[in-house]
Chain A
Amino acid sequence: DAKTTQPPSMDCAEGRAANLPCNHSTISGNEYVYWYRQIHSQGPQYIIHGLKNNETNEMASLIITEDRKSSTLILPHATLRDTAVYYCIVRGISNFGNEKLTFGTGTRLTIIP
């Protein structure tokens, strides 16, 4: 009953843009798309989130399709330190309390020198 699907792994050349897709075809109207990443043995790191408009911050850009059934996380200039597992999560904005958050298997992104 996974709410999101992501490819298990991707490679990207250092300095190029990394584009990580996520499908969330059952997303409901009040649910946001969140992206986190986890570098080995570290805690999850928040990257970005959005509802329906494209979003950009200092780390990444988030492109959400008009029907909101899929999104793409873009790391504009990937560095070796961006090697991590990237998780796409669909949640309500204020629903973290008393909830179970499933990170799923994510996409293992490897940046190639």
Chain B
Amino acid sequence: GAGVSQSPSNKVTEKGKDVELRCDPISGHTALYWYRQSLGQGLEFLIYFQGNSAPDKSGLPSDRFSAERTGGSVSTLTIQRTQQEDSAVYLCASSPDWTSYEQYFGPGTRLTVT
């Protein structure tokens, strides 16, 4: 079946602009995770959803970052007033529910802020 998809695959934006990143999880997966990975670093957890609610937003780096999920499926990560330090690969993963050991990752969105 279809895996996790993300769009766009690449995004170049000017400092100060807003960006929206989209994630389509595997059908039926109720848990959805957002991470980012800077060059040479590990995954940095941002936020996760169980259904449409976000029990843990502790990883969001600042109030410029927000995420929503509607209908228990597609999620959007929004970064307002982008800064150069926001440049990274943003990865989305889904799993059957938040207690699952396995997370299935999408291909990621490479964000470059110039």
Contacts and interface: CB of A to CB of B under 8 A. Distances in A.
A6 B103 CA distance: 19
A37 to B, nearest CB: 10
B42 A49 contact: yes
B65 interface: no
A96 B102 contact: no
Contacts, number: 62
Interface in B41-58: 42-48, 55-56, 58
A30 interface: no
Interface residues on B, range: 20 to 34
A13 B10 CA distance: 47
Contacts of B106: 97-98
B45 A99 contact: no
Interface string A64-108: 000000000000000000000000000001001111111111000
A49 B40 CA distance: 10
A44 B102 contact: no
Interface string A43-67: 1111011000000000000000000
B72 interface: no
Interface string B16-53: 00000000000000000101010010111111100000
Interface of A: 34, 36, 41-46, 48-49, 93, 96-105
Interface of B: 3, 33, 35, 37, 40, 42-48, 55-56, 58-59, 89, 91, 93, 98, 101-108
